[in-house]
């Protein structure tokens, strides 16, 4: 693999990791707020699901940039994964 491909893959991994970390922080903030103020439980419950999904989404992208295993396609649709690869210029593993 060329140095350019390594750099692009590193950039894509950092992007996915940053999004995963942001989701984890948001889940922590929403969860803390739900515990501190029980009247916000309904709104927090509406936020936790999408945040958890997108956290898992970017965790899968971090681990499987080039090709998704079959089970991961339940979390990240194949066409979205292809667009993410194309965004960063990552070739599909042969």
Domain positions in the chain = 3-88
Q: Under 8 Å CB-to-CB from 14, ≥6 apart: which residues?
A: none
- CA separation for the pair 6, 25 (Å, rounded): 28
Q: Is the alpha carbon torsion for 82, 69, 26, 31 positive or negative?
A: positive
pTM of the model: 0.80
- CA separation for the pair 52, 75 (Å, rounded): 11
Whole-number pLDDT of residue 19: 95
Q: Using one digit for the tens of pLDDT, what is the confidence trace for 17-55?
A: 999 999 999 999 999 988 898 888 888 889 999 999 999
Which residue is listed with tokens 């390594």?
6
Question: Using the 8-state DSSP alphabet, how is residue 76 labeled?
Answer: S
């Amino acid at each position: 693999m060329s140095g350019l491909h390594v750099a692009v893959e590193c950039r894509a991994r950092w992007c996915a990791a940053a999004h995963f970390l942001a989701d984890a922080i948001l889940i922590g903030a929403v969860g803390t707020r739900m515990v501190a103020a029980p009247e916000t439980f309904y709104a927090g419950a509406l936020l936790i699901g999408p945040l958890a999904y997108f956290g898992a989404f970017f965790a899968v992208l971090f681990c499987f940039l080039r090709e998704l295993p079959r089970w991961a396609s339940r979390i990240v649709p194949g066409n979205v994964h292809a667009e993410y690869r194309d965004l960063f210029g990552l070739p599909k593993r042969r």
